Structure 1
């Protein structure tokens, strides 16, 4: 099944590069482009893509505004935010808005393809470099009261949550925990269900905001 993608970035050369990488991958089709947030909303509504690659900083309406608008609509696309490291507050706001991942524009091409496929499959992904930036920024923020649902996690599920907080993939978690990837996927699904989270991106945020893991411990 082909993954339909819309690319939104105010720089034509970046859009062209993203399109080239995406369309050179099997099973991915770029069905539209946008040069600002307002246009991104219009193109997404028209094309109904599976995944929207959305620049965080754009004119007219920025990526945050476009994401909020689209995610409030029925059957929204999966959104992967593209960033060159804007303010930490923008990163936090985007995560709380419900985007499905963050990717640095300087990331290797294979990371872009992986982010598209992971998002289309219903999961989330944060570029490891973005994860480190977010982790550092949590050090200056007050710790929130951990949700009571955390007590429903088994010891193994809590271990997997800690590994998720480090930004590890399922394959990396499997190697670290000494279990198979299928087992990891099952644990992650249980964690998300018990905590009422949509994907692993939200799990990373919860782990640090509630003090389950503190910067430097993961």
Structure 2
């Protein structure tokens, strides 16, 4: 049973999210909070597997709370559920360790699928922000660091950017809409082209070239 904590300051929306999750198979709401501090204080007792987190909270803001959740000894996966479609906000949540980002206008079934996905270790982004995620990955590849590795394809530059950000093969597959096998093949190809002895060495080379720094 997936244990879920909901952190949302709007009472009607909070109740709707709690009701949605309670209706899901294999999910149980173990905490419901209107602010980040109460959710963080209760996390040890609630032990959530997933935190559904609004960003516009009173007191401690959502991104700060996200970082603190991810710094816990047994960190929950965090699904951001927010009104914002701002790419800079999305980027900040990625840096803080979010597993997913869904806009509040999404259909209930899309929110439910996102909760299930992050509970199973996947990375998920709503349709409204998926293009921004890809733009962040491909934008870095279009210039700058990409010049350091001209032998890589455009797609391989995208994969390398995500590797430099610490993303797993499964994350890369989800973000770039690839099959897991295709993502693994891209990583193997990059390792060979850059003569890296290991994945860690590949990531180090990418970061030295400026990938993953935005």
Please give the TM-score of this superposition, normalised by the length of structure 1. Answer: 0.68
Does the CA-based 8 Å contact 1:4-1:51 persist in structure 2?
yes
Assess, with a 3 A threshold, how the Cα gap between structure 1 residues 18 and 158 changes in structure 2: closer, same or farther: same
Q: Which runs of 5+ in 2 are unaligned?
A: 161-171, 192-198, 201-206
CA separation of 1:6/1:136 partners in 2, compared to 1, >3 Å: closer, same or farther? same
Instruction: Summarize the Cα distance change of 1:25–1:72 in structure 2 as closer, same or farther, 3 Å threshold.
Output: same
For residues 71 and 21 of structure 2, what CA distance do their matches in structure 1 show?
Answer: 26
Q: CA deviation at 1:133?
A: 4.2
Residues 180-199 of structure 1 aligned to structure 2 (within 5 Å): 184-188=179-183
Query: What value does the CA root-mean-square deviation take over the aligned residues?
Result: 3.9
**Which position in structure 1 is the counterpart of 2:204?**
none
Q: Using the alignment, how far apart are the partners of 1:138 and 1:149 within structure 2?
A: 16
Per the alignment, in what secondary structure is the counterpart of residue 145 of structure 1?
Answer: helix
Unaligned runs of 5+ in 1: 174-183, 197-205, 212-218
Over 3 Å counting, the alpha-carbon distance change for 1:192 and 1:71 in structure 2 is farther
| Residue of structure 2 equivalent to 1:81 | 80
Deviations 1:145-203 (A, max 9, x none): 2498997x8x8x849959x689565xxx4xxxxxxxxxx2233456679767xxxxxxx
Give the equivalent residue in structure 2 for 1:10.
Answer: 9
Aligned residues: 182
Instruction: Give, in whole Å, the separation in 2 of the partners of 1:99 and 1:117.
Output: 15
Whole-Å Cα distance in 2 between the matches of residues 31 and 190 of structure 1? 40
SS at match of 2:145: coil
* Cα gap change, 1:99 to 1:13, in 2 (>3 Å): same
Q: 1:121 to 1:89 in 2, by over 3 A?
A: same
